[in-house]
Structure 1
């Protein structure tokens, strides 16, 4: 049944945002396969609940720090989808004026401190941002996303120790999608749950179903509230699954089709929300499909429009290299 604490209107908005993320990901995949998008990218199809249930419930003034698998986080936090698409297509209208690409989307206007192509690099950045909020006496909270593989990096342990000592207003949300690139997380650690690592640093650790939107929202909301009120950091391990490879060069030779089928058919985060809405008579199947089709049409129109945008000039190579303000 639908959790009564989550307003029905909000649940429909969450579903809309989840579909926006999935259709955006499917669209850029098609653009890549058509040769319109260069470089690499990391799709988060199957992980929409951790994006919407995490970044999507924050205040506009709160901050997120993202990873190479960043598109869903950015969309959930409010970064303009058209600007993201333009960035990936190398257009002047992109979030970084077409010079950053898929792994370097940032939007300070909505509290998106940026994505990072270096595994584990977001942990200390989030701690630094949280320290800023603490020192300036604001009520801002930082939500730091990371993958399961990143928890084996030294930056993870250093940042958590610092955040614990200073009781910083930061929430670390680990998206455990079962694989660090091509290796099962079970072969990379000797503990049952990654959330156990929080205990070593005096940080509350909790493991949740990352494909259950309600559970993600309630857990992140509690952790954010605790951090905002001086209660310090929380480490959340969200169990989820990516349907596609680590990146576009991944041939997915390390996992079975049966495993992928199970997650898609039985634990898909979008399908679970849709069933809730239908069972609670909040939307019909027809209304949901109309919503999905509307988003697909808008995305197709947006792609056609962005393709006509101007590209950066040679002169733009020299901008944003140094701080231009005088000291």
Structure 2
């Protein structure tokens, strides 16, 4: 098993990517981790560690956060992200991970790795933390702003296979993000998608409202990228404000500090449940290879957990499973 990491992508790269790669290589000795990037920058961060399953692949360019995705991928042929994608395409790596520019990674997936036959648009599928710790897989959450009813059905099928193969759920439930639970609620997209989802080879449980997502009303939730990204960013912002507000209130005076000591364990458990680093990365489902997107502000823990996710997906033959199921559907 060989996993390429875009060492130069992310807010805290390459420090975070190197830390995560070292931790992953130390824990999973059966997996070769390839750090793709400027070796002159990466080598000092290794601090003299020499691991047989951690190798460097030198590149001379990197894609910046402000780069226009399509132009950057086409012009920067030796960018760390593009090279990692090419390694997956040419089977030099079984998977790639990047915390870099999301648009550029989507473009790399489409132009370099290639789209899976039968898939109209790949989807970004992160796990949304839930109060019971199980999480909800949501797609699409930003790879494509618009979607057709048929594309939502493809998202549902891919998401269901992912939860089954990677998370071991025997019959994942699938919900449609909407403004109400009634079948005919919503806009033209959701109204048209609903009956198609009922007929799809999945366990469709109907419409789901955003306010209920954290309570895990389903295992997979599908939506267009515009609505999904707004939902995700709203949740991230709310969680951040709640934790900051709690900290401010607990530090107000000696009595609140005493109260904080009493509830500290519970607050820390809540924070851990809502921590993106525990989930590691979101796969771009629908590509001809395994590509995972880590959060832009990923630390070493998040990168290590992304490697864990990649290993699980590879062991369970995720890409081929999706391809087989989509091929069946296109033949019907």
* TM-score bucket (shorter structure): under 0.3
Larger-Rg structure: 2
TM-score (norm 1): 0.27
Structure having the higher strand fraction is 2
